[in-house]
């Protein structure tokens, strides 16, 4: 066998090895790190209404108001999971959904006097998630999955109001236990490393007195690592 034939045989063997190594994820433990964009399903009009309610609780009426809303932020997640078989996995994860930032300049009246108030409302949520994944392999390297589970998030809301140079700040914190669902896809790059793209919807992640009842979407790109990589 000449040198060219020997080289071809080696490359062919390596090729088969790589195809096998990059096959579908194997049953067992794994870790996932991901990051992307989180966005809140809240409108500027809804936040304006929340602001009116906050002032009304203090006996003030809003005469006029201008506002801005930043409803998206960077979100990330860290997860550990166990793949039972080709079609089912369990995951325990921690997610940070970033924050929603609302600012407004309002003219207020108590029926006699008027004044201008600068307001900033912020809402954030983070905490653990428990979920189950139903997986559908498509070919050697590609698979899609659906997720359903429960979030145990800590929702934080704060409001800072400055009226005629006098600032006041109120805050609210609440523990949430609500459903989570989502879909995603994975592409196996090697035996132990898989690329994951996912969309997840988190229900009721707001605080009642600051942001109101809002949901959040998290779109992430992540890497899944099988524990065999550490051996």
The rounded distance, in Å, linking the Cα atoms of 130 and 152 is 8
pTM of the predicted model as reported, rounded to 2 decimal places: 0.81
Helix ranges restricted to H, the chain: 3-21, 44-56
The rounded distance, in Å, linking the Cα atoms of 125 and 47 is 17
Query: Any idea which of 22-26, 138-142, 171-175 has the lowest mean pLDDT?
Result: 22-26
pLDDT digits (tens, 9 = 90+) for 95-136: 999 999 999 999 999 888 888 999 998 989 999 999 999 999
The rounded distance, in Å, linking the Cα atoms of 192 and 38 is 28
Residue 164 predicted with pLDDT over 60 = yes
pLDDT digits (tens, 9 = 90+) for 31-40: 999 999 999 9
Region 200-211: what's the mean pLDDT? 82
The rounded distance, in Å, linking the Cα atoms of 8 and 60 is 82
């Amino acid at each position: 066998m000449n040198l060219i034939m020997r080289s071809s045989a080696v490359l062919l063997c390596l090729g088969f090895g790589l195809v096998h190594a990059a096959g579908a994820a194997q049953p067992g433990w794994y870790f996932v790190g991901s990051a992307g964009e989180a966005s809140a399903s809240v409108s500027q009009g809804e936040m304006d209404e929340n602001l009116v309610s906050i002032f009304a609780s203090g006996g003030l009426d809003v005469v006029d108001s201008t506002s801005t809303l930043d409803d998206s932020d960077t979100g990330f997640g860290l997860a550990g999971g166990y793949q039972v078989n080709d079609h089912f996995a369990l995951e325990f994860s921690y997610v940070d959904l970033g924050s929603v930032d609302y600012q407004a300049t309002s003219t207020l009246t108590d029926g006699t006097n008027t004044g201008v108030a600068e307001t900033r409302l912020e809402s954030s949520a983070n905490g653990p998630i428990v979920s189950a994944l139903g997986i559908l392999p498509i070919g050697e390297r590609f698979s899609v999955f659906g997720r359903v589970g429960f979030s145990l998030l800590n929702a934080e809301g704060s409001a800072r109001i400055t009226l005629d140079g006098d600032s006041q700040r109120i805050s609210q914190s609440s523990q949430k236990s609500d459903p989570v669902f989502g879909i995603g896809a994975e592409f196996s790059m090697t035996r132990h490393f898989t690329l994951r793209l996912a969309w997840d919807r988190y229900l009721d992640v707001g605080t009642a007195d600051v942001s109101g009842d809002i949901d959040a979407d998290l779109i992430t790109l992540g890497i899944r690592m099988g524990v065999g990589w550490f051996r």
